[in-house]
Amino acid sequence: MLLEISELSVSFQSIYGTIPVLDRVSLAIHPGEIIGIVGESGSGKSVTAQSVLRLLDRNANYTGGSIRFRGHDILSLKEREIQALRGKKIGMVFQEPMTALNPTMRIGQQLANVIRKHRGVSRTEAERLAVEALAAVQMKDPEKTFRQYPYELSGGMRQRVVVALAMSSPPELLIADEPTTALDVTVQAEVLKLMKDLSAQTGTSVMLITHDIGVVADMCDRVYVMYGGTVVESGKTADVLHHSNHPYTRALIEALPEGKDKNKPLKIIEGESFNARKRPSGCAFLDRCPLRSARCHHKPPFVISASGHRSACWEVNVDHAVNQ
C-alpha cells in the first residue's frame, strides 16, 4: 500500500468553537493507481488531501486516526522529514497554477531549480531535463517555453508547466486538487489526459480531487464519494457509478448533464448544503436524503460487497455489514 488514511478525524478551532470537519475518513491508494475523491464544496476533500502533506492551517487539529505513506506515520514525522516528502515523493497540483509558479522567474529556470533539488544533478543537466520535462507535458516548442515567463502562457499551458514541476522527480504520489476547474472544457480534458498518461508512464499514483463525477468516470480506477466530512461510498469506479448505493452518490450522478438517461430531466440535490457547525449525530446526508428514516439518526455502518464496494447507508442492500 502506498498511502493509507485510517479513520482520520480533523477539527478546526474557530470563533464558533471547535468544528469537526473530517469524521473518521478512511482511504487507501495502491502504487500506480488513480483514485478520485468526489463531493460538493465543503465535503472535506481538500482537508483530506492537505492532511497527507500536513499543510492544514494552524487552527487545525488532528483529533483521531492515522495517515501512513509507505509505512511512515505522517502525523508523527518531524517537520524536516515531512518537508523531505513534499515535492519529491509527493507532488502537488492545485486549481490555480500561479500559486505554484514564481511570476518573476523564467519557466525553465523554475523547472531546472526543482529538478536540481530533487535529483541532485548539475545545472546544465537540470536545464536539459527541464526542456525534456516540457516536451513530456506536450509543449509545442519546449525550448521557447523554457525561456518564457508564466504570464506569457495561457492558463492551460501554465497548468501543464505545474504538472511538469510536480512530476519532475517523479513522485510516488501526485495530489491534484481540482487541477482543471479553472480551465475551459477542452483544455480540461487535455490536461487530465496528460496526467493520466504521465501516471501510466511513470507509475506515479494520483489522488484526484474533483466535484465533477464525470471527470472521475474518465480518469479513476477507484473513487471515494465524500459528504459532510465523511466517506459515504467507495469502490471501483464502475461499481460506484453504475451500481451506486448511497443516495448522495445517486444524486450526484443524476445531476450530471450527460447522465445515463438523457430523457430524464436534470435533478438538483435538494436542501441546504452541509453545514459543519450543524453536523447531525447520525448520517451526514440526513437532512437532504429522500430515503431518510428514523434509524438514520444513528451513524450508518459501512456495508461492503465482495468486490470492495463500500457504502455507509442504512438503506443499501449488499452482502454483509461491518461496523465502521
Handedness of CA 191, 195, 196, 201 (dihedral sign): positive
β-strands 72-73, 230-236 pairing: unpaired
3-state secondary structure 176-196: EECCCCCCCHHHHHHHHHHHH
46 binds ligand ATP (CB under 6 A): yes
Out of 25, 26, 44, 92, the residue judged to bind ligand ATP by CB under 6 A: 44
Q: Which of residues 148-177 bind ligand ATP (CB under 6 A)?
A: none
Out of 24, 88, 196, 211, the residue judged to bind ligand ATP by CB under 6 A: 211
The residue range among 35-43, 73-81, 110-118, 148-156 that interacts with ligand ATP, by the rule CB under 6 A, is 35-43
Taking the least distance from each CB to ligand ATP, the nearer of 12 and 285 is 12
Out of 39, 150, 171, 300, the residue judged to bind ligand ATP by CB under 6 A: 39
CA distances from 39 to 29, 145, 180, 237, 273 (A): 18, 35, 16, 14, 11
Taking the least distance from each CB to ligand ATP, the nearer of 116 and 246 is 246
14 binds ligand ATP (CB under 6 A): yes
Contact between residue 269 and residue 211 where contact means Cβ atoms under 8 Å apart: no
Other C-beta atoms within 10 Å of 287: how many?
16
Taking the least distance from each CB to ligand ATP, the nearer of 44 and 156 is 44
Beta bridge partners of 14: 17
> How many amino acids of this chain bind ligand ATP (CB under 6 A)?
15
Q: Which of residues 48-77 bind ligand ATP (CB under 6 A)?
A: 57, 59
CB of 198 to ligand ATP, least distance (A): 23
Greatest alpha-carbon span in the chain: 68
